[in-house]
Structure 1
Amino acid sequence: MDDFSIPMNNGNVPPPAPPNFIRPGKRPLSSMTPTIILKDEKLRAVVGASGGAMIIAGTTEVVLNHLRGMDPLHSVLAPRVYHQLIPNVVQYENWTTPYGEHYEVPANVRTFLRRRGHVLQSLAGGSICQFIFVETSKKKKGRGELVGVSDPRKGGFPAGY
């Protein structure tokens, strides 16, 4: 029921969306953002995430990290920032998982954002992303091997055959 909008107005969250109010027989809107990446009409990668309102930003950041040259693992491991426009606050990851791994947006990035006038707030949590990438090599004559990266923020690990 949390994905439905509730008819109330709170200045700290985006305004409710009347088309998404709870009604019998309706399905809630969702932030699901399963993403399929193709190159030359061939599958290159699949990305998805959990994390409610942070799903879109988390998925987008993993994709952009990879397109900018990061390998699949570091694309997922990189600390993330989140902004929902209302309230006008940039949330950034600064947390240690129950498994002892720490994620924090670097100080120079936070300084840059503050200089640009952003209000920053640290966040102990965020989206959890899964990334499957097709690794190709000339040795295998263009045939790909699937590489799965499961976000360690939640203690996950890839499994398959």
Structure 2
Amino acid sequence: MTTTVNGYFGAKILSPNTGIVLNNEMDDFSMPMKNVSKDVPPPAPANFIVPGKRPLSSMSPTIALKNGEVKAVVGASGGAMIIAATSEVLLNHFVKGLDPFSSLVPNVVYYENWTTVSGDHFELSADIRAALRSKGHVLQGLAGGTICQFILSDTYEHSGRNNDSGKLVAVSDPRKGGFPAGF
């Protein structure tokens, strides 16, 4: 499951009944006078703030079924990249036949250069970037991006092998600082 609080500690309000940090969904509305950059789409009039209105969202948590049985669950964070990432993970696994963790790895070469909340720094090394460029790849630096969590019923067929142990396989993108846990 993924949730949106839109910024560290969301609206900075803790529910007295549940102890849950309330989100800041106001951040998801478009603002008519907001600065527009080349990396951010222009404000959408359909998403302007109106009393009683909910902001538009790209949330797309997905449950994949086969013959009424859950085969996979996927969700992502990352704003405008959520829908593409969610779709890509499912296609990577079910169409391309990639294993669950490899399904999270994007097919386009963006290199990361950012530091997480916990202080971990992620950046593709300069020698690898140079080697990729020398082979004709176009690289683009990315601070952050979309991050997926993927849960798969391991009664799946992969690379011609049928695995039918009935257990769940969960992988979590390490850039988010979390890890799968369950019981």
Q: Tell me the residue number matched to 2:36.
A: 10
Q: Please, what TM-score do these two structures have when normalized by structure 1?
A: 0.71
Superposition misfits of 4+ residues, deviation over 6 angstroms: none
Question: What is the rounded CA distance, in whole Å, between the counterparts of 2:122 and 2:65 in structure 1?
Answer: 32
- Scaled by the length of structure 2, the TM-score of the pair is 0.64
Where 2:101 maps in the other structure, the secondary structure is helix
Distance 2:51 2:90 in 1: 37
Give yes or no for the alignment of 1:58 onto 2:76.
Answer: no
CA contact (8 A) 2:111 2:123 kept: no
Deviates more, 1:23-32 or 1:62-71: 62-71
Measure, in 2, the Cα distance between the counterparts of 1:154 and 1:94. 13
The SS at the match of 1:61 is helix
- Once the two structures are superposed, residues 27-51 of structure 1 have per-residue CA deviations (whole angstroms, 9 ceiling, x without a partner) of 1011101011122332110000111
Distance 1:154 1:11, change over 3 A: closer
| Alignment partner of 1:75 is 2:103 | yes
Give the match's secondary structure for 1:69.
coil
Query: Structure 1: which 5+ runs fail to align?
Result: 82-90, 115-119
Q: 1:101 to 1:69 in 2, by over 3 A?
A: farther
Structure 2 unaligned residues grouped into runs of 5+: 1-25, 157-162
Q: How many residues align?
A: 142
Contact residue 113 and residue 123 of structure 2 kept, 8 A: yes
Within the alignment, does 1:131 sit opposite 2:150 as a pair?
Answer: yes
Identical aligned pairs, as a percentage?
60
Q: Tell me the amino acid that sits aligned with residue 158 of structure 1.
A: P
Two-structure CA RMSD over aligned residues (Å): 3.1
Letter in 2 for 1:99: D
Larger radius of gyration: 2
Amino acid at match of 1:152: P
Which residue of 10, 24, 27 maps to 2:51?
24
Alignment deviations for residues 94-115 of structure 1 (CA, whole Å, 9 cap, x no partner): 236543555699837x935x5x
Q: Is the 8 A contact 1:80 1:93 kept in 2?
A: no
Q: Which letter does structure 2 place at the counterpart of 1:72?
A: P
